[in-house]
Amino acid sequence: MEEKIDFVITWVDGSDDKWISKKNSYQKNDENKLINTESRYRDYDTLKFWFRSVEKYAPWVNKIFLITDNQVPDWIDPNNQKLKLINHDDYINKEYLPTFNSNVIELSVGNIEELSENFVLFNDDTFLNDFVEPSYFFKNNKPRDLYAESPIISTKGSVAHAMVNDMEIINENFNKFKFYKKNWSKVFNFKNRAKLLRTIALLPNRNFSGMWNSHLPVSYNKKTFKDVWKKYGNELERTLKNRFRTPYDYNQWLMRYWQLASGNYDVREATSGIVFDLGDTNTRVIENEVKNHKHKMICLNDTDNVTNADNIKTMLFSVFNQKFPEKSSYEI
């Protein structure tokens, strides 16, 4: 029997003066400003459309957990029976708060007591773009995902450091060739499409070079978080002490990599989701995708190369409002 499926979404109102003042008071001593830029916290005012998309495309969801730093959108209905408002201090030890580090916020979600065993972790820039069934995220209670070996490319301001840290733990615990032998039909599955070429090219490497990341919502078993924390609690706790991202952090992808290397996943079609870089993508391409929903999931990735945030915000509000004009039950 399939377990219930919850959705978890993390959100911050980066325009809130009180929150900005608090962040700035801590960030003045931050030595890693290049990986803690404005784009990490910028809000395009699209959260209400996230809720509308979920209600339309995944009405079967059990509960939605909205994680914030004591910020509640003024339009949200806190009495909705499916909605759980979670503050950081509800599940993160207060000695690590306040935190402005998404790695801390996401690595700790397994501590949320009410959260079901099967859940999907969203960022506030990821959206459902078409109808999905529970089996899109889980099959026989196994997370649906895609494995492809992929090199880690380091660029300024990227999360490459965290990926390297994650992979160090994975290579310490899993033998790549034993994983391939045991999960041959998953690794070399036709659903992986062109991603197979990466895996084949890196096949001779004795250790995992890295794993491909989609920047799309991730299906998780809560047990994965419990197991990894039990074995690597000391290492992960060092990340919790970092109020802002650092090159020494682990991130939630460690949990994803662990599920994959354990073979605890079922293959999902590689072409079911798409990621757009808001700084590089023509706005008409994004408008066309939202209107015609060629993919089940989309990510509207904010980056430091965005120079016209206000124009993008106006465009996104317009196109989402056309697609989801009616209020959801999560709104007042």
CA angle (300, 275, 7) in 5-degree steps? 70
Q: What does the alpha-carbon distance between residue 89 and residue 111 come to, in Å, rounded to a whole number?
A: 11
Helix axes 309-323, 283-292, angle to 10 degrees: 20
The reply to whether CATH 3.40.50.300 applies to domain 5-323 is no
Closest CA to 243 of 15, 30, 11: 30
* DSSP tag of 3: P
Closest CA to 251 of 161, 140, 146: 161
Query: Residue ranges per domain, the chain?
Result: 5-323
Q: Is 262 helix (H, G, I), strand (E, B) or coil?
A: coil
Averaged pLDDT for residues 286-314: 91
Averaged confidence pLDDT in the chain? 94
**Cβ contacts of 127 within 8 Å, gap of 6 or more:** 46, 49, 50, 53, 297, 298, 299, 300
Q: Report the amino acid identity of residue 31.
A: E
Averaged pLDDT for residues 187-195: 95
Q: Report the amino acid identity of residue 261.
A: A
In 41-132, which residue ranges form alpha helices assigned H by DSSP? 47-57, 102-107
Residue 127: pLDDT band with limits 50, 70, 90 = very high
Predicted model pTM: 0.96
**Which of 26-35, 123-132, 155-164, 212-221 has the weakest average pLDDT?**
26-35
pLDDT at 308: 85
Q: What does the alpha-carbon distance between residue 245 and residue 79 come to, in Å, rounded to a whole number?
A: 34
pLDDT at 221: 98
Q: Report the amino acid identity of residue 20.
A: I
Q: What is the pLDDT of residues 272-298, one digit of tens each?
A: 999 999 988 888 999 999 999 999 999
Helix axes 253-261, 222-240, angle to 10 degrees: 140
pLDDT at 155: 84
pLDDT exceeds 90 at position 50: yes
pLDDT at 41: 83
Strands 297-301 and 273-277, bridge-based pairing: parallel
- Helices (H) and strands (E) counted in the chain, each on its own, are 11, 11
Q: Report the amino acid identity of residue 300.
A: L
